[in-house]
Amino acid sequence: MSERDSMEQEEIHSKVLRAGRRTYFFDVRSTKAGDYYLTITESKKFTHDDGSFHYKKHKIYLYKEDFDAFKENVIEMMDFIINEKGTEVISERHQRDFKKEEDTAPENAAPVEESTEAASTESFTDIDFDDI
């Protein structure tokens, strides 16, 4: 590895967020000029039928000049989701014990409308960035 490559890849500060099958890595790195930038890497584990596995990784490079706009957009999108759907995770994919209300209601009962009120954050188990 050349001196230039090692300077661009120098990690200054790192943090890891484990979220189910996904792991997020937040790394502050240094450029050749000595400035800092942020990389955000999503790593997701996939298991094959034979028991072997592989990881898929997606990386975002975020530079200081984009921090304010990036942060504003992320906060706006998260606030929108919480305001529209609350904090409760409602996907079978994220909750192994998830049961649809119509599955547990008596046969003659009227369907129950989903509430958009904020729920307890205690059931939060995963963060999913697939749609970004």
The structural architecture, per CATH, of the domain 1-65 is Roll (3.10)
- pLDDT per residue over 20-49, tens digit each? 889 999 999 999 899 999 999 999 988 889
Paired with 3 in beta bridges are none
Closest CA to 41 of 22, 54, 66: 22
CA distance 9 to 30: 7
Angle (CA) 59 24 127, round 5°:
110
Q: In the prediction, which pLDDT does 21 show?
A: 84
Q: In the prediction, which pLDDT does 119 show?
A: 42
Angle (CA) 82 121 87, round 5°:
20
Residue 121 has pLDDT above 70, yes or no: no
Instruction: Please indicate, yes or no, whether the overall pTM of this predicted structure exceeds 0.75.
Output: no
- pLDDT per residue over 72-109, tens digit each? 999 999 999 999 999 988 775 655 554 555 544 445 44
